[in-house]
Structure 1
Amino acid sequence: MKPRNKFEQAVIAQSKHLRPITKTQTQWAFRECIEHYAYRLPKGKSTCMDCGHSWQMIEPTEHCTCPQCGAGLEVITTRARKLKQRQYFTVLNTSGGYQVLRMYLLIAGMEKGYQASSSVMEIGQYWWDERGRQSIVAVQRTMGHYIDSFAYYSPMAIRRDSEAYRFVARCPLCPEVKLSDTLKRNGFEGKYYDIAPTSLIPALLTDSRAETLLKAGRTEHLRYFLSRPRNWDAYWPAYKITLRRGYDITDIALWCDYVDMLRRLGKDAHNAHFVCPEDLLQAHDTAQRKLQAQREKEAEAQRRQKAIENEERFQALKAPFFGIAFTDGTIEVRVLECVEEYLEEGKALHHCVFTNEYHLKEQSLILSARIEGKRIETIEVSLETMKVIQCRGLQNKNPEYHDRIIDLVHRNIKQIQSRVA
């Protein structure tokens, strides 16, 4: 892709002056970025796949040291003779006032009895200027099943950023780094702290908050905020209070949830008393209980409002049955005569007689069975068949009076039938 502006033109021109990878960096990549093995035959003859030296290993072990080259090796019992490995790695460098992250592919070939050989191929480069502007010079990415499907021999040119280049950028970093003066001033020392360099480096160049967290040693918090950049602005005013107070946030995700709940509860999230609790976990649980109570209160208010709105329709449907009541001396059964009673019935017995709007069902009549005023069971009678459809007690379970209640309703069904007529 051709450079689209002066910045990209300057980057592509400067990229031509980059020096080749050094021998020291290549040796580091070979030693640290791939696995090193000793291939052992079942009878004990072992070969270092790095230098090709063979020796007799009497007792099998998981790891050993090559007596010839001194390499630490993982022992594998196998009859294989060849091994090929590929691994990406990165080098952090500077060029012409830019910070450059160079990405390489190491290809290592190993065969029994021979010195291992390796080659290094450059995949691409991330460029940043002092203002954090970014550009990528890289080989072309092609369509394929794997994220790192590159046209390795395509020319290095300006490319659009993609997940493929970001994936390679997170691969092992050579410890031999060169940093721009701006990054050094902002506290960067060449360590990523498990943060993607494509997020960390631009943030340190453009956002003073990233510099503040890095210099304060709060790298875990920096990682959290960089992974959720939209939330950073919302939490930063409260977070600055914790910095000034020297408050140690033991769990940044829990603290952010806690601040969210403070706002929903109408608390002052700029007050150190709230944002710097002595026990974060306990304060979080307390706020959660208060918020749950507030939500339940709001839900109750909505249910009552809905009951008021449905009252007129309910009265038109069920008014002919009001006043129906009968008893066997112990159990009293009567018709529910307002939507509020449906709400209270469902709330007391923990079932869905109100939430499923049984009060608006035209061919259904709801009665409540009670003993000494205490709700025992809720009965639904079909106005078409004049039979009990269902009878539900506490949490939809049948109480000991279940059969007796159904029998009582059926013996008095003529009262309901007469109202229909």
Structure 2
Amino acid sequence: MKPKNKFQQHVIDVSRKLPEITEPQKRWAYKHCFDHIAKQNANGVITCLECGHTWQSDNSHLADTILECECPNCATKLQINTTRQRVFKQIEYLCIVTTFGGFQVLRFFYIDVYRKSGESAYYFCKEVVQRWIATNGKFATMARLRPMSCFQDTWIFNSDLEVRPEKPLYDIMPTRVYPRQKVLPEIKRNGFKGDYHRLTPFEMLHTILTDNRAETLLKTGQTALLRCFIRRASKDINTYRNSINICTRNGYIVPDGSMWCDYIDLLRFFDRDLNSPKYICPTDLAAEHDRYVAKKQAHLERQRQEEQRQKARENEERFRELKSKFFGIAFSDGAIEVRVLESVDEFFDEGKEMHHCVFTNAYYLRPDSLIFSATIDGKRIETIEVSLKTLKVVQSRGVCNSNTEYHDQIIKLVNRNKQLIRQRMAA
């Protein structure tokens, strides 16, 4: 794509002088971004999938366990997997954070490894995305092309790095960030100390450059709130600013940003004193949140016979206007089934059974959120909120807002099927 303004042209000119990734950086990525494994067969023969060396195990009777060992040939520390699988593939992303030409530069490298039993591992590395951020927060993205109508994690590697229109797919969450980071003085001044607090590098660095409220949250240790306000566009920090200041003055660090904001919303609903640390800084946030959720549910239930059904029908019409094009989205990995909630009554049932606020805080009327329910054999496991602006999982909550043993599996399953949402949005 041709540059549309002088800023983009300047980025292109500077990027031409950016050095290639070094061999030590590649070696670090290959070592730290991937699982290093050895295959053990039923006879106890172990094959190193890094160098292809084979030797006899002394633990052949431990057929179903995963052990650690060191390859006697290449000295790589390995996890032993007992499997019949012969070919192993893995794709990850490395981010190199550096400065160049007065810009903060985020360089994202697609790296993969192909391993086959009896052969040396083949590693591949290619830079696919660059994010150039100026000190005033203005930014440009350079990236390679993606295949048309392809939603898998693939790139056209022989295409050039060119200025591209902004898309959520360029906001990559890397597997690892190269430890030798260079950041602009302004970013250091604004409180960044190398930790991204489960945000993407672009989300963190761009936000603290452009929003002094985010800078304040970072410097005061309120990173859970910072993550919440970045990821949840429906939450306006100004709505909670006074309560946040009370937390800071009392040395209270919010442990869960999304839950705390929902809790404050509940306090506001019951007209509690939002200037009192007694309410604003609960010792057990989850317990207080759940208590007010139950209280609000009881309050709503008392009105349910008289007006709730009619009100639900009115909300149903608005809900269908907002979300009907997503109805029918469902996917499974064989054990976990995930589907979109398709009525206000389903939101009510989800919130009541899972003991959280997906119904009481009217998530069904939020235009930028899509809510899924994850079940196993018909039993609800977790409720998932996906941002329709970024297609990222904002939160996934089990009973009483806890994380279940299936939490990571559910998030990976949703991420693998984001194309279903994207297709409906484009329809």
Q: Bin the TM-score by the shorter chain.
A: 0.5 to 0.7
**How far, CA to CA, are the matches of 1:297 and 1:82 in structure 2?**
60
Unaligned segments of structure 2, at least 5 residues: 309-427
Alignment of 1:23-38 (within 5 A): 23-38=23-38
Q: Percent identity?
A: 36
Tell me the amino acid that sits aligned with residue 7 of structure 1.
F
> Is 1:217 aligned with 2:217?
no
Contact 1:25 1:176 in 2 (8 A): no
2:247 corresponds in structure 1 to: 242
**How far, CA to CA, are the matches of 1:159 and 1:302 in structure 2?**
51
2:179 corresponds in structure 1 to: 175
Contact 2:45 2:55 in 1 (8 A): yes
Counterpart among 123, 130, 148 of residue 118 in structure 1: 123
1:202 corresponds in structure 2 to: 206
The secondary structure found in structure 2 opposite 1:233 is helix
After TM superposition, give the deviation of residue 226 of structure 1 in Å.
1.6
> Is 1:65 aligned with 2:73?
no
Tell me the amino acid that sits aligned with residue 232 of structure 2.
R
> Is 1:12 aligned with 2:12?
yes
The secondary structure found in structure 2 opposite 1:118 is strand
The secondary structure found in structure 2 opposite 1:150 is coil
1:162 corresponds in structure 2 to: 167
The secondary structure found in structure 1 opposite 2:28 is helix
Alignment of 1:228-307 (within 5 A): 228-231=232-235, 232-272=237-277, 274-276=279-281
After TM superposition, give the deviation of residue 17 of structure 1 in Å.
1.1
**How far, CA to CA, are the matches of 1:23 and 1:291 in structure 2?**
59
> Is 1:102 aligned with 2:107?
yes
Contact 2:33 2:175 in 1 (8 A): no
> Is 1:47 aligned with 2:8?
no
- Residues 69/282 of structure 1: CA separation in 2 closer, same or farther (3 Å cut): closer
Alignment of 1:372-387 (within 5 A): none
Contact 2:39 2:82 in 1 (8 A): yes
The superposition leaves residues 137-166 of structure 1 with CA deviations (integer Å, 9 ceiling, x where unpaired) of: 010122234343322211110012223222
Tell me the amino acid that sits aligned with residue 225 of structure 1.
F
After TM superposition, give the deviation of residue 268 of structure 1 in Å.
4.8
- Residues 144/88 of structure 1: CA separation in 2 closer, same or farther (3 Å cut): farther
**How far, CA to CA, are the matches of 1:66 and 1:275 in structure 2?**
55
The superposition leaves residues 86-132 of structure 1 with CA deviations (integer Å, 9 ceiling, x where unpaired) of: 32221111111111111112233445555434231111101111111
After TM superposition, give the deviation of residue 53 of structure 1 in Å.
2.6
- Residues 219/277 of structure 1: CA separation in 2 closer, same or farther (3 Å cut): closer
Select between 4-13 and 68-77 the one with higher mean Cα deviation.
68-77
Contact 1:148 1:164 in 2 (8 A): no
**How far, CA to CA, are the matches of 1:254 and 1:89 in structure 2?**
31
Tell me the amino acid that sits aligned with residue 249 of structure 1.
V
* RMSD of Structure 2 on Structure 1 (CA): 3.1
**How far, CA to CA, are the matches of 2:277 and 2:156 in structure 1?**
55
Contact 1:143 1:149 in 2 (8 A): no
Unaligned segments of structure 1, at least 5 residues: 304-421
Counterpart among 133, 138, 144 of residue 143 in structure 2: 138
The secondary structure found in structure 1 opposite 2:176 is coil
Tell me the amino acid that sits aligned with residue 36 of structure 1.
H
Contact 2:191 2:219 in 1 (8 A): yes
The secondary structure found in structure 2 opposite 1:190 is coil
The superposition leaves residues 355-407 of structure 1 with CA deviations (integer Å, 9 ceiling, x where unpaired) of: xxxxxxxxxxxxxxxxxxxxxxxxxxxxxxxxxxxxxxxxxxxxxxxxxxxxx
Larger radius of gyration: 1
The secondary structure found in structure 2 opposite 1:107 is strand
After TM superposition, give the deviation of residue 27 of structure 1 in Å.
0.6
The secondary structure found in structure 1 opposite 2:109 is strand
Contact 1:11 1:135 in 2 (8 A): yes
- Residues 15/295 of structure 1: CA separation in 2 closer, same or farther (3 Å cut): same
The secondary structure found in structure 2 opposite 1:28 is helix
After TM superposition, give the deviation of residue 248 of structure 1 in Å.
4.0
**How far, CA to CA, are the matches of 2:290 and 2:87 in structure 1?**
58
- Residues 56/277 of structure 1: CA separation in 2 closer, same or farther (3 Å cut): closer
- Residues 282/139 of structure 1: CA separation in 2 closer, same or farther (3 Å cut): closer
- Residues 77/170 of structure 1: CA separation in 2 closer, same or farther (3 Å cut): closer
Tell me the amino acid that sits aligned with residue 159 of structure 1.
R
After TM superposition, give the deviation of residue 233 of structure 1 in Å.
2.0
**How far, CA to CA, are the matches of 2:246 and 2:222 in structure 1?**
14
**How far, CA to CA, are the matches of 2:183 and 2:299 in structure 1?**
52
After TM superposition, give the deviation of residue 51 of structure 1 in Å.
2.3
The superposition leaves residues 162-216 of structure 1 with CA deviations (integer Å, 9 ceiling, x where unpaired) of: 23222x3443222221111111111212221111223211111111222222222
Contact 1:147 1:164 in 2 (8 A): no
Tell me the amino acid that sits aligned with residue 244 of structure 2.
Y
1:191 corresponds in structure 2 to: 195
**How far, CA to CA, are the matches of 2:83 and 2:121 in structure 1?**
18
**How far, CA to CA, are the matches of 1:295 and 1:113 in structure 2?**
64
Scaled by the length of structure 2, the TM-score of the pair is: 0.62
**How far, CA to CA, are the matches of 1:286 and 1:85 in structure 2?**
44
Counterpart among 127, 149, 155 of residue 150 in structure 1: 155
**How far, CA to CA, are the matches of 1:113 and 1:295 in structure 2?**
64
Tell me the amino acid that sits aligned with residue 218 of structure 1.
Q
Q: How many residue pairs get matched? A: 302
